[in-house]
Copies of this chain bind each other. A is one copy, B any other.
Amino acid sequence: MATATTSVSVQTADDLLKHWQGHRRLTRRTIEAFPEDKLFQFSVGGMRPFAEMALEFIRMAVPIVEGVATGKWGDINAAKGSQPTTKTDLLRLWDAQTKELDEKFPQIPAHRFSEIDKVFDQWEQPGIVTLQYAIDNEIHHRGQGYVYLRALGIEPPHFWERD
């Protein structure tokens, strides 16, 4: 009979970054799958178009990694002024952030994953919870983008492909 092993580590910071970047590659393919006009205008049930969801991911990802790394939390809506209006510009922003995440994430000091911050003046939680939230939020809304694509008669990318 195996003993309970609840305190075993199942994920390192490096695993988490790789897992996130895998999801981000899938999100990038989801953005690409939309026709340009639908990306910025189409939605179901009065929800946001997928471009706005993708911009939310962009507004969260690097600012959250910087916040967890440094303990300094700016205004999550600060970057709202400079929104891209084409798929090309959105993907360019996406790719720039991919590089930035790869650079900044490994600089998060070990103790900061468990340290509790007041995040964006709203949520009091450890760094790891905030990072996980950013990833879960991306999966959640990307799933909604899949419904938009299906409603448009477009086959979404395979959920299980992350390369």
Contact = CB atoms under 8 A, between A and B. Distances in A.
Nearest to A19: B132
Nearest to A3: B109
Main secondary structure of the interface of A (DSSP, over half): helix
Interface size class of A (residues with CB under 8 A): 35 or more
Contacts of A11: 9-11, 16, 128
B13 A12 contact: no
Interface string A132-161: 110011011111101111111100000110
A110 interface: yes
Contacts of A82: none
> How many subunits of this chain does the assembly comprise?
2
Nearest to A131: B10
A57 to B, nearest CB: 13
A107 interface: yes
A45 B151 contact: yes
A131 B47 CA distance: 30
A4 interface: yes
Interface of A: 2-17, 19, 23, 44-47, 69, 106-110, 113, 123, 128, 131-133, 136-137, 139-144, 146-153, 159-160
